[in-house]
């Protein structure tokens, strides 16, 4: 907590450390009230650093002892202040002994060493290791670690750290110990320890090489019946990385530990991944299809970091996307490959792009916009963003689109060949891709350095006489904070042309010699847009085509293209690219939603617009096409979310958008009621629950159908929802039914809510769902949320619980959150201020809910500004919250 103005750190100021650390040995005497840590490290001076002091970082720590080569360092040998321990006159080769004392029980930030439900856990990324000992806590300092843990044997029977267990035993005084050694050099952010009362599911697994490894999933005693899916996901991840990238698990043991108090999803500590329970625990009773999918992708993500992040790490935190963007790309590909079918892959792609549009596009257009490789930050934890992760993944995907799958693999191989064991930059990754592919990727660097979502405008012309077709692509990128002007990006734009029968035409570019053999011409072509504007000529085009542009979302851009309603319906029905089929439907819906929102803003009654022909016909065609994959149908029949519509408007009117979306859903429910009923019945999944993609897809479509039917709010609809609620044999169906009931006026809704709580009050993750469902329900206003905060199960200290109620309301219930009287903003400010003292990282995430405040009507803006200013004026604001709020107010 601070009173001064926090300082920004700049990428251009990077300097190598004055000392490298070679080995680290640590001894922990674990006690929740006062833990003592003895650290011995050997260091070597970096070349060119003679005369420079040794800089170590430390926070919320007591320095008990400091010795250099065995001798106590006197008061004049060092300075300590503002989180920096600077030691002078340090020899070129030196052994340091540092003893620190810390208070895990009082650590509510959940960074460094803390306790959760009586057990010890650590979280060190990005800068948590400095809360354990004084250390050059920066990712380019890589060392080997040997760790001894000592603790009370009854209270902490399990003692875990990174690497291999090399010794354990009794200390005789009721305490015991374990010694762990990690043979691989690692940065301090990958350090971890866990101690407490835990049990594990374990298996040995044979790698392709024949070597056997031990896999463990550690949980609290009552949760051993919820670990199988995480274990299966881990085995799938190990196999996939061997098959797809030739990367083998390098340790003999790999552990996953679940903890209920965690700031984010999970953490890739070497050999000892620590996970939020949300991404480990699953059985059909408590977890939904989405939870199962989330576990698979997060287990994969953390496992894949073992190579992309751990073996090759980041030189500095500005390079964060080097590991995060790449690892998200890898986990996305992993999930897609596991589904295996073309349509399954498309569904996964659509879901990923939805996240990008829903969260990253707004970030890129708001006050926190930053490049994939930022130039500066105040608090690095604020930069674990959708831009670093999701846009970063899109940037990696573009390499694959440009180089092809094999070319991309060659680039990965070269990257590891060059950089295994090193801390490197995004430029090193790009160089490996360019060199392996024999391509000049210098312009591609702009994807790392320029923020903002580029727009690509598409214009076309058909010349019937010449049988030629022209596509002109023109790019632009709006200004973002600190970047008023942008240079043109290198954008891969995948295109196809549809003939009047809906078939793909063979594509022959005029600039290419030959290629006239129609039977071998490709039907999708990647056009490389590198100039502000470029025209591509296709020849032998026998009729005027309908263009399908940006297939499979080949670049993270906004596409401006004019289609008639009829063309969109045609693409929705015919495009061979499933992503663009979905996209066409979304465009059609968005167009309608924006027009209706305008009408509401102008005071027109919506029922005068009740005729939903174009959209209704398109929806009917999709809903009744039995050849379509149910998972795809669900996505195609889901209207753009309220926040995605909001992003399309110059001045956002949350209540109007909400009203329109409901109106359209009701219109589509009533026009297609019979078809929804058929879809409901024909997508039932009787028998034992299985989370496989086909069953999950059916449940998804069935539950979407239920949600439409319940929009009609009549007795039959209520009965359907109630009976699904009463008879559900899995959480997916149960929660979908509960949500349908709660968002209707069904007589049984309060009873259902109450019985749900009774049935599941022992399951923290389900209680989270119970809060979250209510937070996002349409009747839930600010007063109701405040009331829910008084529920005995609510706690601000547990991040999952805080997110389930407060974040769900502020981010997931826009019509209520943006109440015209500003009460939502008052509530938001109260919670940001309360969280700030408990857990700055979580507080700073919530602080971002008002990011886009300048997009609202002036009266709302005034109220939002007042709330922002109230937070800004709070005493002892963390630098986390300070950075977010001051950037919001500035831009």
Dihedral of the CA atoms 556, 561, 566, 569 (nearest 10)? Answer: 0
Nearer to ligand B3K, 31 or 125 (CB): 125
- Taking residue 429's Cβ as centre, other Cβ atoms within 10 Å add up to 28
What six digits make up the tokens of 652? 């956002």
112 contacts 123 by C-beta, under 8 angstroms: yes
**Least Cβ distance, residue 627 to ligand B3K (angstroms):** 38
**Least Cβ distance, residue 301 to Zn ion (angstroms):** 5
Stretch touching Zn ion by CB under 5 A, among 318-326, 503-511, 569-577, 619-627: 318-326
Nearer to ligand B3K, 137 or 575 (CB): 137
**Least Cβ distance, residue 126 to ligand B3K (angstroms):** 5
Q: Which of Zn ion, ligand B3K, none has residue 273 at its interface (CB below 5 to 8 Å by kind)?
A: none
> For 607, what's the count of Cα atoms within 13 Å in the CB-facing half-sphere?
0
Rounded to whole angstroms, the Cα distance separating 389 from 330 reads: 11
Q: Give the chain's radius of gyration (CA, Å).
A: 28
**Least Cβ distance, residue 310 to ligand B3K (angstroms):** 10
**Least Cβ distance, residue 379 to ligand B3K (angstroms):** 10
- Taking residue 399's Cβ as centre, other Cβ atoms within 10 Å add up to 27
Nearer to ligand B3K, 379 or 504 (CB): 379
Nearer to ligand B3K, 316 or 647 (CB): 316
129 contacts 135 by C-beta, under 8 angstroms: yes
Which residues fall within 8 angstroms of residue 129, CB to CB, at 6 or more apart?
112, 135, 137, 188, 189, 191
Residue bearing tokens 């479509």: 701
309 contacts 268 by C-beta, under 8 angstroms: yes
**Least Cβ distance, residue 799 to Zn ion (angstroms):** 17
Q: Which of ligand B3K, Zn ion, none has residue 384 at its interface (CB below 5 to 8 Å by kind)?
A: ligand B3K
Q: Where are the alpha helices (DSSP H) in 790-890?
A: 799-802, 808-812, 814-817, 823-838, 840-847, 858-872, 879-890
Q: Write out the binding residues for Zn ion, residues 322-341 only, by CB under 5 A.
A: 324, 327
**Least Cβ distance, residue 611 to ligand B3K (angstroms):** 48
Nearer to Zn ion, 360 or 888 (CB): 360
Rounded to whole angstroms, the Cα distance separating 6 from 883 reads: 8
* DSSP helix/strand/coil, 869: helix
Rounded to whole angstroms, the Cα distance separating 630 from 662 reads: 23
Binding mask 430-449 for Zn ion (x = CB under 5 A): --------------------
Which residues are designated catalytic? 302
In Å, what is the CA distance from 36 to each residue of 33, 60, 63, 78, 155? 10, 13, 10, 21, 17
Q: Which of ligand B3K, Zn ion, none has residue 575 at its interface (CB below 5 to 8 Å by kind)?
A: none
Q: Which of ligand B3K, Zn ion, none has residue 267 at its interface (CB below 5 to 8 Å by kind)?
A: ligand B3K
**Least Cβ distance, residue 298 to Zn ion (angstroms):** 9
* DSSP helix/strand/coil, 755: helix
Choose among 640, 660, 647: nearest CA to 854. 647
Nearer to Zn ion, 313 or 695 (CB): 313
Binding residues for ligand B3K, rule: CB under 6 A, are 125-126, 264, 266-268, 301-302, 305, 324, 381, 384
Q: Which of ligand B3K, Zn ion, none has residue 583 at its interface (CB below 5 to 8 Å by kind)?
A: none
Nearer to Zn ion, 31 or 324 (CB): 324
Rounded to whole angstroms, the Cα distance separating 286 from 259 reads: 17
Nearer to ligand B3K, 384 or 827 (CB): 384
What six digits make up the tokens of 277? 């329970």
Stretch touching Zn ion by CB under 5 A, among 321-329, 476-484, 632-640, 764-772: 321-329
Rounded to whole angstroms, the Cα distance separating 755 from 760 reads: 9
Total residues in contact with Zn ion, by rule CB under 5 A = 2
Give the bridge partners for 460, in sequence order.
Answer: 471
Binding mask 713-752 for Zn ion (x = CB under 5 A): ----------------------------------------
Q: Which of ligand B3K, Zn ion, none has residue 551 at its interface (CB below 5 to 8 Å by kind)?
A: none
Q: Which of ligand B3K, Zn ion, none has residue 653 at its interface (CB below 5 to 8 Å by kind)?
A: none
**Least Cβ distance, residue 263 to ligand B3K (angstroms):** 6
887 contacts 854 by C-beta, under 8 angstroms: no
Q: Which of Zn ion, ligand B3K, none has residue 126 at its interface (CB below 5 to 8 Å by kind)?
A: ligand B3K
Residue bearing tokens 């022959």: 508
**Least Cβ distance, residue 387 to ligand B3K (angstroms):** 14
Rounded to whole angstroms, the Cα distance separating 359 from 363 reads: 6
Which helix (H) or strand (E) segment holds residue 765: the answer is helix 764-776
DSSP letters of 199-245? EEEEEEEE-TTS-EEEEEEEE-GGGGGG-HHHHHHHHHHHHHHHHHH
Strand order through the sheet with 71-72: 71-72, 62-68, 93-102, 35-45, 19-29, 142-152, 175-187, 164-170
Q: Which of Zn ion, ligand B3K, none has residue 264 at its interface (CB below 5 to 8 Å by kind)?
A: ligand B3K
Q: Which of ligand B3K, Zn ion, none has residue 352 at its interface (CB below 5 to 8 Å by kind)?
A: none
Nearer to ligand B3K, 227 or 839 (CB): 839
Which residues fall within 8 angstroms of residue 92, CB to CB, at 6 or more apart?
44, 45, 50
Nearer to Zn ion, 324 or 733 (CB): 324
**Least Cβ distance, residue 303 to Zn ion (angstroms):** 11
DSSP letters of 52-77? PPEEEE--S-EEEEEEETTEEPPGGG
Handedness of CA 398, 237, 138, 409 (dihedral sign): negative
Which residues fall within 8 angstroms of residue 719, CB to CB, at 6 or more apart?
none
**Least Cβ distance, residue 780 to ligand B3K (angstroms):** 30
Cis, bond preceding 126 (omega within 30 deg of 0): yes
140 contacts 16 by C-beta, under 8 angstroms: yes
Rounded to whole angstroms, the Cα distance separating 526 from 550 reads: 9
Nearer to ligand B3K, 217 or 493 (CB): 217
Nearer to Zn ion, 327 or 480 (CB): 327
**Least Cβ distance, residue 683 to ligand B3K (angstroms):** 34
In Å, what is the CA distance from 799 to each residue of 108, 109, 154, 264? 10, 10, 28, 8
Q: Footprint of Zn ion on this chain (CB under 5 A)?
A: 324, 327
């Amino acid at each position: 907590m601070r009173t001064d103005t926090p300082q920004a750190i700049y990428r251009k100021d990077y300097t190598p450390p004055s000392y490298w650390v070679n080995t680290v040995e640590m001894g922990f005497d674990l006690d929740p009230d006062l833990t003592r840590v003895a650290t011995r490290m050997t260091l070597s001076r970096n070349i060119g650093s003679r005369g420079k002091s040794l800089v170590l970082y430390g926070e919320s720590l007591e320095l008990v002892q400091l010795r250099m080569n065995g001798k106590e360092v006197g008061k004049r040998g060092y300075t300590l202040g503002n989180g920096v321990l600077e030691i002078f006159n340090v020899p070129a080769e030196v052994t340091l002994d540092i003893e620190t004392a810390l208070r895990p029980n009082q650590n509510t930030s959940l960074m460094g060493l803390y306790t959760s439900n009586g057990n010890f856990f650590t979280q060190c990324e990005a800068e948590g290791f400095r809360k354990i000992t004084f250390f050059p806590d920066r990712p380019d300092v890589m060392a080997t670690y040997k760790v001894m843990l000592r603790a009370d044997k009854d209270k902490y029977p399990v003692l875990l750290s990174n690497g291999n267990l090399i010794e354990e035993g009794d200390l005789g005084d009721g305490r015991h110990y374990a010694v762990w050694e990690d043979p691989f050099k690692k940065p301090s952010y990958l350090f971890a320890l866990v101690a407490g009362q835990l049990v594990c599911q374990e298996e040995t697994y044979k790698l392709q090489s024949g070597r056997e490894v031990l896999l463990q999933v550690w949980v609290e005693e009552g949760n051993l019946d919820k670990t199988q899916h995480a274990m299966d996901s881990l085995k799938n991840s190990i196999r996939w990385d061997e098959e797809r990238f030739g990367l083998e698990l390098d340790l003999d043991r790999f552990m996953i530990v679940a903890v209920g108090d965690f700031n984010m999803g999970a953490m890739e500590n070497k050999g000892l991944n620590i996970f939020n329970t949300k991404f480990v625990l699953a059985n059909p009773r408590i977890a939904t299809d989405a939870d199962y999918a989330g576990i698979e992708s997060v287990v994969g993500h953390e496992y894949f970091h073992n190579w992309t992040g751990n073996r090759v790490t980041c030189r500095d935190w500005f390079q964060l996307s080097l590991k995060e963007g790449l690892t998200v790309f890898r986990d996305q590909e992993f999930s897609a490959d596991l589904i295996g079918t073309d349509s399954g892959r498309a569904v996964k792609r659509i879901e990923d792009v939805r996240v990008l549009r829903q969260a990253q596009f707004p970030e890129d257009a708001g006050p926190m916009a930053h490049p994939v490789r930022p130039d500066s930050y105040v608090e690095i934890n604020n930069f674990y963003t959708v831009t670093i992760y999701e846009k970063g993944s899109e940037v990696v995907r573009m390499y694959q689109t440009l180089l092809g799958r094999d070319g991309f693999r060659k680039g990965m191989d070269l990257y590891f060949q060059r950089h295994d064991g090193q801390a490197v930059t995004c430029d090193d990754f790009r160089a490996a891709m360019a060199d392996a592919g024999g391509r000049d990727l210098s312009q591609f660097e702009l994807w790392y350095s320029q923020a903002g979502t580029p727009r690509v405008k598409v214009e076309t012309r058909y010349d019937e006489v010449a049988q030629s077709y022209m596509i002109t692509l023109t790019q632009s990128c709006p200004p973002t904070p600190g970047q008023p002007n942008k240079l043109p990006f290198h954008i891969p734009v995948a295109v196809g042309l549809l003939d009047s029968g809906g078939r793909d035409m063979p594509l022959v570019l005029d600039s290419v010699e030959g290629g006239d053999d129609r039977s071998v011409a490709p039907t999708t072509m990647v056009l490389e847009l590198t100039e502000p504007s470029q025209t591509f000529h296709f020849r032998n085009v026998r009729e005027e085509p309908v263009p399908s542009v940006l297939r499979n979302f080949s670049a993270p851009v906004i596409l401006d293209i004019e289609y008639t309603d009829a063309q969109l319906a045609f693409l929705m029905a015919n495009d061979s690219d499933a992503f663009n089929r979905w996209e066409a439907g979304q465009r059609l819906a968005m167009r309608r939603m924006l027009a209706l929102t305008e009408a509401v803003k102008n005071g027109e009654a919506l029922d005068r617009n009740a005729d939903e022909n174009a959209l209704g016909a398109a929806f009917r065609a999709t809903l009744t096409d039995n050849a379509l994959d149910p998972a795809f149908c669900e996505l195609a029949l889901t209207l753009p979310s309220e926040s995605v519509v909001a992003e399309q408007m110059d001045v956002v009117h949350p209540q109007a958008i909400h009203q329109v979306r409901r109106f359209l859903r009701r219109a589509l429910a009533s026009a297609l009621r019979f078809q929804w009923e058929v879809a409901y019945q024909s997508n039932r999944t009787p028998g034992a629950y299985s989370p496989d993609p086909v069953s999950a897809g059916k449940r998804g479509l069935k539950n979407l159908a239920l949600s439409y039917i319940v929009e009609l709010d009549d007795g039959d609809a209520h009965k359907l929802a109630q009976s699904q609620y009463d008879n559900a044999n899995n959480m997916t169906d149960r929660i979908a039914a509960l949500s349908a009931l709660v968002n209707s006026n069904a007589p049984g809704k309060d009873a259902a809510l109450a019985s749900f709580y009774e049935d599941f009050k022992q399951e923290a993750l389900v209680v989270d769902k119970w809060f979250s469902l209510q937070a996002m329900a349409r009747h839930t206003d600010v007063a109701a949320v405040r009331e829910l905060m008084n529920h005995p199960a609510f706690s601000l200290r547990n991040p999952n619980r805080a997110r389930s109620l407060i974040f769900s309301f502020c981010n997931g219930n826009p019509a209520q959150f943006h109440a015209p009287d500003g009460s939502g903003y008052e509530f938001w400010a109260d919670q940001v201020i309360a969280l700030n003292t408990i857990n700055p990282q979580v507080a700073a995430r919530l602080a971002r809910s008002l990011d886009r405040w300048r997009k609202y009507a002036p009266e709302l803006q005034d109220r939002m500004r007042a709330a922002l200013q109230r937070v800004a004026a709070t005493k002892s604001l963390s630098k986390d919250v300070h950075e977010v709020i001051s950037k919001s107010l500035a831009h």
